[in-house]
Structure 1
Amino acid sequence: MCSHRPMKFFVLISSLVFVLSSCTKKDNNKNYLLEGSLKKWQPLTLTFNGPEVSEMDSINPFLDYSLLVNFSNKDTTYTVHGYFATDGDAANSSAENGNKWRAKFTPGETGKWKFKAYLMEGENIAVKQFTLPKKNKSIWNVNGEFQIQPVDSTANGFYRTGMLVYDNAHYLKQSETGKPFLKNGVGSPENFLAYSEFDGTYDNGGPATPTLHEGLHDYSAHVDDWKDSDPVWGFYNGKGIIGALNYLSGKGMNSLYFLAMNENGDGNDVWPWVAPNEQTRYDVSKLDQWEMVLTHMDELGMAMNVFTQETENDTILNKGELGLERKLFYKELVARFGHHLGVVWNLGEETNRSPEQLKSYADYIRKIDPYNHPIAVHNHVRVTGERREGRPLDPIKETFTPMLGYRNFEVPSLQMYDTTEVHKEVKKWLNLSVQKKKPWIVYLDEIGHWDIGVTTDTAANNNHDMVMHSSLWGSLMSGAAGTSWYFGGKDVPNNDISAEDFRARDAWWDISNNAKKFFEDHLPYETMQNHDELVSNDKAYCFAKKDEIYVVYLPKNQTTDLTIGDGAFTIAFYDPKVGGMLFDKQNEGWKITKPNSVELSAYNGQKEKDWVIVIARK
């Protein structure tokens, strides 16, 4: 086991400076440093001088101080929680003490903004004080203003398309473009942040992973995917993890599922604290290094599905209740990472917590998150034959039914043991949510038996064709808003917590990206819904905007009739495995059988393939 973190010999140099972005404003009289591009959707940073303290100070800098900043324009006010930042350059310096206090804010509107910042002191004030004090009870208060310019049209990722928001629909919306967001996600390794070049990170006794070096990820296969303009910290640390993100983004993957805390869990190697048992003392340099990785994800347009706990450890904090340590955990996550543009807060992987507990978590996060990021939870798995009190056990139903219509919950994160049930299960929860007048965004976030998931390309039991049909297209053709792909749990290279080289599934990323590109390039999918009643073969799927456009997924060796509207239509065929162009020969693969009905079959007689067929009004 290593020490808290090694100090590098360049600390005395790096800790004396801030690395500034394109706009910096320092006013010694007003005690703040403003950094950022001052462009819409790009975060700005306010750094203040405050008390000189350390992570382990007798007055806890995480609990007993509270920095709150109100950012306001002519229309609204955002109350943003700040945090202790040691020397202001902890990612590079590994500093454990300092006098810098920081808040990050992402402006979603142009024009003039003002801010009012208060640093307050008091026992446990960080989890008690959520508004600026009416009277001046603060150590200090600071006022300032700045001007935000329009979106940088040359920016990348979410800095160009805007924050992902819930808009009372079945897909998240990109705030700047107004377009829906279809998640094409990576779901393993769940301990993505168990990276050897993060400070204070070590294997704390998790399961043996002999394919990893001392139980941690290096992502050495992706060092060459790092680019000269990409971030690093310290002595060029971070190339492996940044390179891995670059590779995945280049394959069309736009989302990552990861645990922010797995202490006493499967990996037992990810936590935000200075040590696993110091749950009110946060490791500032580690979290600043996480921040560099998450900022790169924003630039790549990769959404962050932030899992706050897992099934093995969801009683670690306050025995599962919303107590002091849990409140502080959520507050630190929101304060340090809430400004990111693609965040979904997930209340727990394979949750065991009661509906009342889950709702209390969601209420608290919504109260302190100024951006109202979507809130999700992941169900425990349904296993055939399991019973409770003489009846079949249905953890999916038990998790999600109490959450239907709940004001502070938007995303059921589905785990499906039986992939043949994916299609109907997604339809079920979409329909139930509409009935409760709060449409859900349904994600498929884990599939299959725990030790299988999606296999590597070269696996003897390669299951890509099956997963493509049942889970990828099965979910999207039901109206799911996207997927995350779990790798399976056997202790072999490149499965769940042992995953190092994402190229082991290079062919799968292409198959998954084919589906995303098809939906984005050819369909007004946000206006469509499942219409399986229009096809005669129950092995086929139909997704449609009736009388305008119909999409049918036809498995190999199958035919089906499709009921369509009156008038002239075009037809085109798409190979979901190969991707690429649409084949649009008019007389190969369909024929009119009766008025308002066509018989669909494989394109050009290629029955050994699955086909996606598009029938659109001329």
Structure 2
Amino acid sequence: MYSHPVKPYFVGLCAFILLLCGCNEKGLSDSYDLEGTLRKWQPVTLTFDGPQVSETDSINPFLDYSLVVNFSNKDTTYNVHGYFAADGDAANSSADAGNKWRVKFSPNTIGTWKFRAFLMEGKNIAVKQFSLPKKNESIWDINGEFEVRPVDTTAVGFYRTGKLAYDGTHYLKQSETHKPFLKNGVGSPENFLAYSEFDGTYDNGGPATPTLNDGLHQYPTHVDDWKENDPVWGDGRGKGMIGALNYLSGKGMNSLYFLVMNENGDGNDVWPWIAPDEQTRYDVSKLDQWETVFTHMDRLGMAMNVFTQETENDTVLNKGELGLERKLFYKELVARFGHHLGIVWNLGEETNRSPEQLKNYADYIRSIDPYEHPIAVHNHVRVTGERREGRPLDPIKETFTPMLGYRNFEIPSLQMYDTTEVHKEVKKWLDLSRKKKKPWVVYLDEIGHWDIGVTTDTAANNNHDMVMRSSLWGSLMSGAAGTSWYFGGKDIPNNDISAEDFRARDNWWNISANAKKFFEDHLPFETMQCHDELLSNDKAYCFAKKDEIYLVYLPKNETTDLTIGDGAFTIAFYDPKEGGMLYDKQNEGWKITKPNSVELSAYNGQKGKDWVIVIARK
């Protein structure tokens, strides 16, 4: 093995010989392997022969080389970062050395794409050089082209609906179908990637998890959810994790929240490096195995809420500043995973970082991510009565107010301690963002006291009815773009760190999926806004496009008046817990009390349950 290519002494003769064998003057082949379906949205993989190196080589393959590939068509140009891929099959071989260098690209249009790939060498060049230098000092400079055909009509997931993109509205859009994306997310375990069948993964001293073997997940109850022809790696590893994703997708969940780095954090069992303290040396085989999982998520249409750090460890990299290790961390994430179609980059869970630091992170990620994936951050919980420096502590306000209107920030990832505040808090940030001329996509990503969250189906303190009313429908009826469901900290063996069996919340997934399905099937929700002022009862919610359609959430044992427009309307009732059909009998649960006003009550006298009521113009 040699650490970098050696230039031949007899340049003229060697150049002639190399030309005959298809190599450049540094002895490296100008050929490449192209893989992929060559369909719109599906990844194109280019693999090149480059310097033979290892993860621990004296010339750092992650820091001291930079592979950049320029992809262009008649309308668009992308500069896409590549990465060291060891032997090109590291997920299966567990290789840590090789001469393969790779880039993955997700084409957004059909037709001819040309590319120019170049690999440069230099001290720390990976975080310095992101484009072709004026004087080409690359190890090689390779050109080629390929033809991309239209979307595969038999494709599934995001390969059919396209990349999730921010378009200046309150909902991400699916780029192919242009339909709004309503997130129905799983928020636990946050250490989902602490999986025993990934290379280089171990418990580095996190909390006691007596129900896990060696402190790592195996998802054993979901092995049977793995299906023939689903991916595995190595000698058949990965069935538990892939099966878990299959189960969740089958229950209507379309998003997963997970940390890619919790070194020195709650779990202390997830990191992308060869060791927790080797923060410029990346574990190629582990990351290739992650890639297998993320590709399966694209096929399932399951969005990736990628949390890059958490509150306990957000100074691990450069003491919280945007230094070399942090830049390399973001660059490796973007290079290896940026081609995925459902990504949201989250700057940190329960962030402690200053607005200036968060903006620096966001600016850097946006500068190296050619796909402009949405950027989010998650706030510390607000606890009533707690004080800091003589004033009320409001980390929600302190985190998000400075980000309003910021060019490289799209999503406040809300954590709410008091679920009764969810509805008004979501509306507040939607309204404020509109006033700043950059409407936000608001996510509700964690609720309740840290040790409760959403309980299991069989828990003695089952809180599903409360969460359904206050957080699920409460957020959606304000205009939130979706939710993620946190499991709490005490409900062992199904808490935020130790959760293994997602069926423990099977009933909850039904309730959550009911809401998503209702919005998608029955509402033009992207054109609607919160209009609680039209109701006489402040315990109810109203989401409406005035004079056209009104949606009212009515808690059990409550009634309310609704002010509506002139003309004829239809009315229908929906059971948010049971789901299913709409009940549309005209005289069951409503009556006209005065012009432009109706009184709403429980359908057919069933006051002991919550009701969703749709009033639409005929």
Letter in 2 for 1:76: T
Shift of residue 126, structure 1, vs aligned partner: 0.1
> Which residue does the alignment assign to 1:587?
587
1:310-345 Cα offsets, whole Å, 9 max, x none, are: 000000000000000000000000000000000000
Instruction: Check if 1:617 corresponds to 2:617.
Output: yes
Equivalent-residue separation in structure 2 for 1:492 and 1:517 (angstroms): 31
> Which residue does the alignment assign to 2:87?
87
Shift of residue 388, structure 1, vs aligned partner: 1.6
> Which residue does the alignment assign to 2:8?
none
- Per the alignment, in what secondary structure is the counterpart of residue 66 of structure 1? strand
Equivalent-residue separation in structure 1 for 2:415 and 2:516 (angstroms): 20
Shift of residue 389, structure 1, vs aligned partner: 2.0
1:432-464 Cα offsets, whole Å, 9 max, x none, are: 000000000000000000000000000000000
Instruction: Check if 1:513 corresponds to 2:485.
Output: no
Letter in 2 for 1:269: D
Shift of residue 140, structure 1, vs aligned partner: 0.5
> Which residue does the alignment assign to 2:461?
461
> Which residue does the alignment assign to 2:547?
547
Equivalent-residue separation in structure 2 for 1:29 and 1:375 (angstroms): 38
Equivalent-residue separation in structure 2 for 1:411 and 1:130 (angstroms): 26
- Per the alignment, in what secondary structure is the counterpart of residue 497 of structure 2? helix
Letter in 2 for 1:171: Y
> Which residue does the alignment assign to 1:193?
193
- Per the alignment, in what secondary structure is the counterpart of residue 154 of structure 2? coil
Aligned length: 593
CA, structure 1 residues 248+379, in 2 after alignment: closer, same or farther (shift >3 Å)? same
Equivalent-residue separation in structure 2 for 1:322 and 1:617 (angstroms): 54
> Which residue does the alignment assign to 1:325?
325
> Which residue does the alignment assign to 2:14?
none
Letter in 1 for 2:273: W
Equivalent-residue separation in structure 2 for 1:30 and 1:510 (angstroms): 53
Shift of residue 491, structure 1, vs aligned partner: 5.8
Equivalent-residue separation in structure 2 for 1:452 and 1:389 (angstroms): 29
In the TM superposition, what are the counterparts of 1:487-506 in structure 2 within 5 Å?
A: 487-490=487-490, 492-506=492-506
- Per the alignment, in what secondary structure is the counterpart of residue 240 of structure 1? helix
Equivalent-residue separation in structure 1 for 2:73 and 2:100 (angstroms): 26
Shift of residue 41, structure 1, vs aligned partner: 0.3
8 Å CA contact 2:30–2:140 kept in 1: the answer is no
Instruction: Check if 1:144 corresponds to 2:144.
Output: yes
8 Å CA contact 2:205–2:268 kept in 1: the answer is yes
1:145-167 Cα offsets, whole Å, 9 max, x none, are: 00000000110000000000000
Letter in 2 for 1:546: K
Equivalent-residue separation in structure 2 for 1:426 and 1:64 (angstroms): 45
Letter in 2 for 1:285: S
Shift of residue 273, structure 1, vs aligned partner: 0.1
Instruction: Check if 1:424 corresponds to 2:424.
Output: yes
> Which residue does the alignment assign to 2:17?
none
Equivalent-residue separation in structure 2 for 1:147 and 1:239 (angstroms): 34
- Per the alignment, in what secondary structure is the counterpart of residue 217 of structure 1? coil
Shift of residue 30, structure 1, vs aligned partner: 3.2
8 Å CA contact 2:29–2:49 kept in 1: the answer is no
Shift of residue 428, structure 1, vs aligned partner: 0.2
> Which residue does the alignment assign to 1:340?
340
Equivalent-residue separation in structure 2 for 1:422 and 1:151 (angstroms): 39
> Which residue does the alignment assign to 2:248?
248
- Per the alignment, in what secondary structure is the counterpart of residue 116 of structure 1? strand
Instruction: Check if 1:379 corresponds to 2:379.
Output: yes
> Which residue does the alignment assign to 1:361?
361
In the TM superposition, what are the counterparts of 1:424-463 in structure 2 within 5 Å?
A: 424-463=424-463
8 Å CA contact 1:453–1:488 kept in 2: the answer is yes
Deviation larger for 489-498 or 344-353: 489-498
1:486-520 Cα offsets, whole Å, 9 max, x none, are: 00011611111100000000000000000000000
1:126-179 Cα offsets, whole Å, 9 max, x none, are: 000011122211001100000000000110000000000000000000000000
Instruction: Check if 1:172 corresponds to 2:172.
Output: yes
Equivalent-residue separation in structure 1 for 2:207 and 2:246 (angstroms): 29
Letter in 2 for 1:61: P
> Which residue does the alignment assign to 2:304?
304
Shift of residue 287, structure 1, vs aligned partner: 0.1
In the TM superposition, what are the counterparts of 1:48-67 in structure 2 within 5 Å?
A: 48-67=48-67
8 Å CA contact 1:182–1:482 kept in 2: the answer is yes
1:533-573 Cα offsets, whole Å, 9 max, x none, are: 00100000000000000000000000000000011100000
Equivalent-residue separation in structure 2 for 1:200 and 1:609 (angstroms): 50
- Per the alignment, in what secondary structure is the counterpart of residue 576 of structure 1? coil
Shift of residue 427, structure 1, vs aligned partner: 0.3
8 Å CA contact 1:209–1:491 kept in 2: the answer is no
> Which residue does the alignment assign to 2:529?
529
8 Å CA contact 1:491–1:498 kept in 2: the answer is no
Letter in 2 for 1:123: K
Equivalent-residue separation in structure 1 for 2:34 and 2:476 (angstroms): 43
Equivalent-residue separation in structure 1 for 2:565 and 2:225 (angstroms): 50
8 Å CA contact 1:83–1:335 kept in 2: the answer is yes
Instruction: Check if 1:135 corresponds to 2:119.
Output: no
> Which residue does the alignment assign to 2:11?
none
Equivalent-residue separation in structure 2 for 1:112 and 1:235 (angstroms): 38
Letter in 2 for 1:85: A
Equivalent-residue separation in structure 1 for 2:457 and 2:134 (angstroms): 61
Equivalent-residue separation in structure 2 for 1:254 and 1:428 (angstroms): 26
Shift of residue 386, structure 1, vs aligned partner: 1.1
Equivalent-residue separation in structure 2 for 1:130 and 1:88 (angstroms): 23
Equivalent-residue separation in structure 1 for 2:389 and 2:88 (angstroms): 56
Deviation larger for 490-499 or 33-42: 490-499
The sequence identity of aligned pairs, in percent, is 86
- Per the alignment, in what secondary structure is the counterpart of residue 304 of structure 1? strand
Instruction: Check if 1:279 corresponds to 2:279.
Output: yes
Equivalent-residue separation in structure 2 for 1:281 and 1:598 (angstroms): 65
- Per the alignment, in what secondary structure is the counterpart of residue 48 of structure 1? strand
- Per the alignment, in what secondary structure is the counterpart of residue 58 of structure 2? coil
Equivalent-residue separation in structure 1 for 2:495 and 2:465 (angstroms): 19
Shift of residue 29, structure 1, vs aligned partner: 6.2
> Which residue does the alignment assign to 2:264?
264
Letter in 1 for 2:99: N
Equivalent-residue separation in structure 2 for 1:29 and 1:260 (angstroms): 35
In the TM superposition, what are the counterparts of 1:552-571 in structure 2 within 5 Å?
A: 552-571=552-571
Equivalent-residue separation in structure 1 for 2:576 and 2:38 (angstroms): 42
1:572-598 Cα offsets, whole Å, 9 max, x none, are: 000000000000000000000000000
Equivalent-residue separation in structure 2 for 1:495 and 1:349 (angstroms): 17
> Which residue does the alignment assign to 1:17?
none
Equivalent-residue separation in structure 1 for 2:324 and 2:30 (angstroms): 33
- Per the alignment, in what secondary structure is the counterpart of residue 142 of structure 1? strand
Equivalent-residue separation in structure 1 for 2:394 and 2:37 (angstroms): 50
Letter in 2 for 1:296: H
Letter in 1 for 2:255: S
1:110-130 Cα offsets, whole Å, 9 max, x none, are: 000000000000000000001
8 Å CA contact 2:185–2:253 kept in 1: the answer is yes
8 Å CA contact 2:539–2:555 kept in 1: the answer is yes
> Which residue does the alignment assign to 1:154?
154
> Which residue does the alignment assign to 1:22?
none
8 Å CA contact 1:36–1:45 kept in 2: the answer is yes
> Which residue does the alignment assign to 1:5?
none
- Per the alignment, in what secondary structure is the counterpart of residue 181 of structure 1? coil
Equivalent-residue separation in structure 2 for 1:34 and 1:492 (angstroms): 47
Equivalent-residue separation in structure 2 for 1:265 and 1:396 (angstroms): 22
Letter in 1 for 2:578: V
Shift of residue 39, structure 1, vs aligned partner: 0.1
Letter in 2 for 1:40: K
Instruction: Check if 1:184 corresponds to 2:184.
Output: yes
Letter in 2 for 1:304: M
> Which residue does the alignment assign to 1:392?
392
Equivalent-residue separation in structure 2 for 1:271 and 1:595 (angstroms): 63
List gaps (5 residues or longer) in structure 1: 1-26
1:326-368 Cα offsets, whole Å, 9 max, x none, are: 0000000000000000000000000000000000000000000
Query: What RMSD, in angstroms, separates the aligned Cα atoms of the two structures?
Result: 1.0
> Which residue does the alignment assign to 2:104?
104
Letter in 1 for 2:141: N
Shift of residue 229, structure 1, vs aligned partner: 1.2
